[in-house]
Chain A
Amino acid sequence: MRVLVRLLKFLSPRRWQVALAILLGVGVMVSNIGLLTAAAYLIAASALKVLLSQLALPMFLAQVFGASRAFLRYAERLVSHHVTFKLLADLRTWLYGCLEPLSPARLLGYRSGDLLARIIKDVEELENIYLRAFSPLIVSAILSFLTFSLLYIFFDSSLAFMTLGFLALAGIGVPLLVNVLARKPGRRQLTLRAELNAHIVDGIQGIPDLLALGRAGEQRESISALDLKLGRVQRRMASITGLQDALGDLAMNLAMWTVLILAIPLVNEGRVGGIYAAFLILLVLGSFEAVRPLGGAFQFLGRSLGAGERLFEIADLKPHVLGPGKPLPAPTGRTLEFNRIGFRYREDEPLVLEEISFKVEPGNRVAIVGPSGSGKSTVVNLALRFWEPTHGTVLLGGHDLRRYAEEDLRGTIGAVTQDTYLFNETLRNNLLLAKPGASDTEVECALERAQLTEFISRLPRGLDSWVGEQGLRLSGGERQRLAVARALLKDAPVLILDEPTANLDASTEHHLLTSIYELMPEHTMLVISHRLIHMERMDEILVLDRGRIVERGTHHQLLEAKGLYERMVEAQNQMLV
């Protein structure tokens, strides 16, 4: 219920439009009933051979209602879709505002479930809440009331109550019954479908292994078995959901039938004019048109509430990183320092970093190396203040990172992270993100340093080529170099490079690193790498293993120490290409 109220709050700025749409929706239904009842009255009156002049009004009304039904429907669709699209736009903007401070620290825990795609679907689900749930509910309530009043005032209370009862049965009783019956198989269907999907994902991603192990048949059989189970549940569901329309239809016709039974004596006794018999029948049948969409409305309402609940759950999260009340001015010092840092992602998990201390002075280069999973990238996330350290402090220019405004801090740092993202935009726009007003010369210079000049010149549309779905598919190495170019274009005094040369071939890697190291001697540079290339250019190398610094020193010192570093170099020397 709270979720519903919160969702409806999004509608409140547009309540007049909503009211208009509902009014139009009622108008459509009234026209529909008006057309049918006017026509019924018309033929009944004609059959009594009344004067032609007495037929003028019903004739006119039939035509007017016929036309107004179509036009009101058109207007209703325009207004209601307008409202819905506005609502969606509002929701997206709101949600972005909620997620922005949460990213990436708070969202990381959700990643495995493909959170973002989930969010997109949930927002889309909400487009139904007004169009298919809220509006039909209100319209049908108003219309049921109107029908009831009309019957009560002009005809007979028994007819009025009887019709209202059947309307409630069709509009609320049947959907409720179907809902109750479908709850159990519905839940079972969801779990089975999820299981089936997991098997399909497994089966397709693991095709080489399955085929090589000769187990494709088994996987297919387990999929078939699940499908069979799912099919059985879905067949049961079909019998239940099929009831929705059938029982709704039955309720409508039973209402008509009961009204007929009740009306016959009334007509016989002269309490209701015989001329209204046909009118009554069509009034009752017509009023059910409004409750017909309610079965669907309840389903949409349920789904929208589920979606809303999931969205609010995320939107209500507290950001992991909070800005200071009174931030310091933008950092001027360029020394990056980690002071006895310890870090765990969640309270119930072990530390992933312990007692990490180091200092990178301006013009110095420090490398962090180590086996995968040793905690290297976590250091980057802490330096960018995507996460807060559990113990110790990270300092820039001698002050705790927490004392700067987030934007000021990140304005000082150029970074290539492992998941640097390229947007579905032109290459140029992707680069200009780093420095919106950059000149062509600056862009070319960054591309040159990132070893991309030749690649760009080969593209028919050069920097105006689109990245991603509609555009060119970039290889891992090309993406990586674009990320480097973007970070270089930003030209920040502190540079953090997390695996800058992943996916590059040896010679490109060599040239890229040479150009970065030689052309940017005055920068404060922190390099994360599991490839041990150009390590002799580092002022200090930290060897990380399971969250601890196990060795530190220069390349030559570490080689002489004959520890983990030396073994890593050994393993790498083994590699061909």
Chain B
Amino acid sequence: MSAEKAKKQRGGSPVSGELLRQVKHARIFLASAIVFGMLGVCATIAQMVFLSKIVHRVFLGGEGSEQVRLLLVLLLGAVVLRSGLLWLREIVVQRGAVYVKSELRERLFTHLMRLGPSYASGERTGELVATTGEGVERLDAYFSRYLPQVVLSVVVPLLIATYVLPLDPISAIVLMATAPAIPVLMVLVGRRAEESVQRQWATLSRMSAHFLDVLQGLPTLKIFGRSTAERERVAEVSDEFRERTFEVLRFAFLSGLVLEFTATISIALVAVALGMRLLYGNISFEVAFLVLLLAPEFYRPLRELGVHRHAGMEGKAAAGRIFELLATPAPVSSGSSATARPTGQLSIEFDDVGYSYPGSVRPALSGVSLALPAGTCTAVIGPSGAGKSTLVNLLIRFVEPESGRITANGLCVEDLSVETWREKVALVPQRPYLFYGSILDNIRLARPNATREEIERAVVLAGASGVVERLPQGYDTEVGERGVRLSGGEVQRVAIARAFLQGTPVLVMDEPSSSLDPESERLIGVALERLMRDRTVLVVAHRLNTVYRADRIAMLEEGRLVEVGNHTDLIERSGPYARFVGAHKRMLA
């Protein structure tokens, strides 16, 4: 609750400040939009001046078209200028919005890459995609409409009042008297209205959420014979939400009423006061008409602000989330530009390594010292939550150790740039991702300059030639969401082909935790044996065969390394490993 409050407080003006600070040219776009807006008002004033002069001379002076020709031309000029300035202002704000959007989108994406999979994974990806795509798009109206209007709604009335003051102090005073009333109303009522509008949008989106919930659950409702009855619920909930939203809206409309009433009544007052003074000859018709023409212009920006308020609030929320993301510290330093690079076969050493994920109390790993001698395979096993994936994340440098260090051929890994290090390490994840594009593109990702022959060889070595042959257009088949779907075992083999193509001295593999079809199991087993040859391998093992094949087995329990050795030795020792494998065997029996 308090966190929500804090969020709300932070959701005030600081977001716009943050936006201007973070996006360096945003200020220029905004400033020029405001300047164009102000120039536009000047053109409007000029237009009204010419207009009132013409009407005055025709009406009271009885002059004809000839006599006022110059004024008519000037009036036309002011009119055209005013529209031109309006157009320029639109172009500037929209270009500014485009600039701000792409700048932030690029920054977000870059930062997400830096945050890496330890942050951007699992359930969070959906939200991150939404923020980077739609969230950034929401800034459009916020930046192009709301922000300039906020400034103009203060500047324009001031400008007009300043102009009217020397001409007709009484009307200027009437306007100015209501002017502070309006910002005060905006702050007082507006603050509450803002809250209520926010609540309104919350209820509206909750109604949508309920509807989505019901639609997604339709098959389930059918199974339980509740789908017909639910129709009434949909109507009921819809109606209930409507009533509640309506209550809230009524309040928001009421504040609109107050604002509008103030504006219209003061225009009427100005008119009556002008009439009285004209009657007694205290003021000229020309001035009176000019003031009457300018009075609605005085209130216009404030009314327009109300129109853009919703866009403003949506954008504010989106911007808040974007800056929050950008402020999240990256778990990996970019590394110093140490010139020394490990070459040839690599032996890797974890030296008293510890790590805990942000926001988690228990360390994911603590005091782990483990050597991966060059050209050997080490299998990591342990119950779920023991820290196996963390070990993988550390080795591929998705995260850096909090304590201790990892060395490769004696060089501290953290001193190398992340890019250099990852050129040495290939990863076969548990659920490899296939990107939009052909299967060929997906494999070539591992080495963009690879020839077709090299790719085909990697595919054969990975036991994936059957996968490619099965596909309707072979290597050119599109995969991913819109294309052909591959089974888990097939995707796994594509990932192994990638690893072959990369040809790195170090291989990290996270085995699938459930069994694949027998064909894939067999082919992957054979391919892995080939892939592991002459490489330094760390494999999170879920299969007994993999464990038997490994040179060494490292057993993790609750973030600690409890046993290291080969299968035979460990069984003889009848420690945690023997119990683990034994328990598993018993379960099957």
Task: Assess whether A513 is interfacial by the CB under 8 Å rule.
Answer: no
B94 within 8 A of A: yes
A74 sits at the interface (CB 8 A) = yes
Q: Find the A residue at minimum CB distance from B285.
A: A47
B189 within 8 A of A: no
Q: Does B426 count as interface, using CB distance less than 8 angstroms? A: yes
Main DSSP-derived SS at the B contact region: helix
Which of B18-26, B529-537, B581-589 lies at the interface with chain A? B581-589
Give the contacts of B207-265 with A (CB-CB under 8 A).
Answer: 208-228, 230-231, 234-235, 238-239, 242, 245-246, 249-250, 253-254, 256-257, 260-261, 263-265
Determine the chain B residues whose CB is within 8 A of the CB of A214 once the complex forms: 419, 422-423
Interface residues of B in 505-525 (CB under 8 A from A): 513-519, 521
Q: Is B298 at the interface (CB under 8 A from chain A)?
A: no
Contact with B along A457-471 (1 / 0, CB 8 A): 000000000001100
Chain A residue numbers with a CB within 8 Å of B482 are: 112
- Specify the chain B residue showing the minimal Cβ separation from A31: B264
B11 interface contact, C-beta 8 A: no
Q: Are A46 and B275 closer than 8 Å at their CB atoms?
A: yes
28 A-B contacts, Cβ less than 8 Å apart?
A: A43-B285, A66-B265, A67-B264, A74-B260, A88-B242, A96-B215, A198-B436, A213-B502, A223-B105, A224-B102, A235-B95, A235-B98, A253-B82, A260-B51, A267-B59, A268-B58, A274-B59, A371-B516, A415-B223, A421-B217, A423-B214, A571-B516, A571-B517, A571-B521, A574-B515, A574-B543, A576-B584, A577-B383
Stretch touching chain B among A115-123, A150-158, A303-311, A517-525: A115-123
Query: Looking at the complex, which of B2-10, B108-116, B150-158, B352-360 is the stretch in contact with chain A?
Result: B108-116
| Interface contact B215-A116, CB-CB below 8 Å | yes
- Asked if A205 is at the interface of the complex by the 8 Å CB criterion, the answer is yes
In the complex the two chains form, is A567's CB within 8 Å of B98's CB? no
Query: Given the complex, which residues of B lie within 8 Å of A49, measured CB to CB?
Result: 279, 281
A208 within 8 A of B: yes
How far, in whole Å, are A237 and B221 apart by their CA atoms in the complex?
46
A97 beta carbon closer than 8 Å to chain B: yes
Chain A residue nearest to B71 in the complex (CB) = A260
Q: Which candidate, A4-12, A17-25, A241-249, is the interface stretch facing chain B?
A: A241-249
Query: Are B59 and A278 in touch, CB under 8 angstroms?
Result: yes
- Chain B residues with CB under 8 A of A570: 518
Q: Let me know if B361 is at the binding interface, CB within 8 A.
A: no
Q: Which 8 A-B pairs have the closest CB atoms?
A: A242-B90, A238-B94, A371-B517, A39-B271, A46-B278, A246-B87, A66-B268, A212-B427
Name, among A52, A65, A89, the residue most crowded by chain B CB atoms within 10 Å (CB to CB): A89
Query: Which one of B274, B288, B446 has the greatest number of beta carbons of chain A within 10 Å?
Result: B288
* Contact flags A192-216 to B (C-beta < 8 A → 1, else 0): 0000111111111111111111111
CB atoms of B481 and A112 under 8 A apart: yes
Q: Which of A180-188, A226-234, A336-344 is near enough to bind chain B? A: A226-234
Q: Decide: A574 near B72, CB < 8 A? Known: A74-B256, A250-B80.
A: no
Q: How far is the CB of B84 from chain A (nearest CB, A)?
A: 7
Instruction: Count residues on chain B whose CB falls below 8 Å from chain A CBs.
Output: 150
**Partner among A67, A92, A506 whose Cβ is within 8 Å of the Cβ of B587:** A506
* Known A78-B253, A205-B125: A267·B47 in contact at CB below 8 Å: no
- Flag if A100 contacts B82 (CB, 8 Å): no
Please determine whether B429 and A207 come into contact, CB atoms closer than 8 angstroms. Answer: no
Q: Does residue B311 face the partner (Cβ distance < 8 Å to A)?
A: no
Nearest opposing residue in chain A for B501, CB measure = A213
**A264-B64, A267-B58, A410-B222 are known contacts. Are A372 and B487 too (CB-CB below 8 A)?**
yes
Cα-based distance from A214 to B545 in the complex (angstroms): 30
- Which residues of chain B have C-beta atoms less than 8 A from A69's C-beta? 260, 264
Pair count A-B, CB < 8 A: 425
**A74 contacts B253, C-beta separation under 8 Å:** yes
Judged by a CB distance under 8 angstroms, whether B132 is at the interface is yes
A400-422 interface bits toward B, Cβ cutoff 8 Å, 1 = contact, 0 = none: 00000011001101010101111
A116 to B213, CA, bound (A): 9
B466 within 8 A of A: no
Contacting B102 at CB < 8 Å: which of A208, A219, A228, A420? A228
Interchain CB contact (< 8 A) of B86 among A249, A257, A422, A531: A249
- B448 part of interface (Cβ distance < 8 Å): yes
What string of 1s and 0s marks CB contacts (under 8 Å) between B85-112 and chain A? 0110111001100110110011001101
- Distance, CA A243 to CA B88, complexed state (A): 9
Cβ of B571 under 8 Å from chain A: no
Asked whether any CB of chain A lies closer than 8 Å to the CB of B62, the reply is yes
* CB proximity of A511 to chain B, nearest CB, Å: 11
Interface status of A299 (Cβ within 8 A of chain B): no
Q: Does A568 contact B (CB under 8 A)?
A: yes
Distance between A513 CB and nearest chain B CB, rounded to angstroms: 12
Query: Which of A203, A243, A421, A571 touches B87 (beta carbons < 8 Å)?
Result: A243
Q: Which chain B positions have C-beta within 8 A of A201? A: 129, 133
Whether, in the assembled complex, B267 has its beta carbon less than 8 Å from a beta carbon of chain A, the answer is: yes
Q: A40-B289, A202-B480 known; A213 and B445 CB under 8 Å?
A: yes
Contacts of B95 in A (CB 8 A): 235, 238
List chain A residues, Cβ under 8 A from B296. Answer: 36
Interface residues in A69-110 (C-beta closer than 8 Å to B): 69-71, 73-74, 77-78, 81-82, 85-86, 88-89, 92-93, 96-97, 99-100, 103-104, 107
Closest residue of chain B to A112, judged by CB? B481
**A260 x B72 contact (CB < 8 A):** yes
CA distance A71 to B47 in the complex (A): 31
B267 contacts A77, C-beta separation under 8 Å: no
Alpha-carbon distance between A242 and B96 when the two chains are bound, in angstroms = 13
Known A70-B264, A223-B105, A253-B83; contact A231-B99, beta-carbon cutoff 8 A:
yes
C-alpha gap A324/B419 in the complex (Å): 65
Mark out the residues of chain B between 46 and 77 whose CB falls within 8 Å of any chain A CB in the assembled complex.
Answer: 47, 51, 54-55, 58-60, 62, 64-65, 68, 72, 75-76
User: Are the CB atoms of A568 and B518 closer together than 8 Å?
Assistant: yes
A136 to chain B, nearest CB (A): 13
Asked if A277 meets B55 with Cβ closer than 8 Å, knowing A204-B120, A208-B117, A249-B82, the reply is yes
Q: Which residue of A lies closest to B214 (CB)?
A: A96
A322 in contact (CB, < 8 A): no
A540 and B264 CA atoms in complex are apart in Å by 84
What's the minimum C-beta distance from B442 to chain A, rounded to whole angstroms?
A: 9
Closest approach, in angstroms, between the C-beta of A372 and any C-beta of chain B?
Answer: 5
Set of chain B residues within 8 Å of A223, measured between Cβ atoms? 105-106, 109
- Asked if A212 and B429 make an inter-chain contact with CB atoms under 8 angstroms apart, the answer reads yes
Q: Which residues of B contact A407 (CB under 8 A)?
A: 225, 228
Q: Which of A55-63, A161-169, A356-364, A445-453 contacts B (4 or more CB under 8 A)?
A: A55-63
User: CB-CB < 8 A to B256: which residues of A?
Assistant: 73-74, 77
Q: B174 on the interface (CB 8 Å rule)? A: no
A209 touches B433 (CB 8 A): yes
A254 near B79 with CB under 8 A, answer yes
Give Cα A211 to B120, complex, Å: 12
With the chains together, A540 CA to B502 CA distance in Å? 47
User: Told that A97-B231, A238-B91 touch, could you supply 19 new A-B pairs with CB distance under 8 A?
Assistant: A36-B296, A39-B268, A62-B272, A67-B265, A89-B239, A93-B231, A197-B133, A201-B133, A207-B117, A219-B113, A223-B106, A224-B102, A238-B90, A274-B59, A281-B51, A423-B213, A423-B217, A434-B224, A576-B543
A341–B489 alpha-carbon span in the complex (Å): 28
**Complex-state Cα separation, A243 to B123, whole angstroms:** 43
Contact A278 B55 (CB under 8 A): yes
Cα–Cα distance between A433 and B60 once the two chains are bound (Å) = 82
Q: Are A241 and B90 in contact, with the CB atoms below 8 A?
A: yes
Measured in the bound complex, the distance between the Cα atoms of B86 and A293 in whole Å is: 16
Q: Are A67 and B261 interface neighbours, CB within 8 A? A: yes
* B544 part of interface (Cβ distance < 8 Å): yes
Contacts of B493 in A (CB 8 A): none
Which residue in B64, B133, B488 is a CB contact (below 8 Å) of A372?
A: B488
Chain B 444-478, CB-CB to A under 8 Å as 1, else 0, gives 01101000000000000000000000000000000
Q: A490 interface residue, CB < 8 Å from B?
A: yes
Q: A82-B246, A100-B218 are in contact. Are A410 and B120 (CB under 8 A)?
A: no
Instruction: Report the nearest A residue to B65, measured CB to CB.
Output: A264
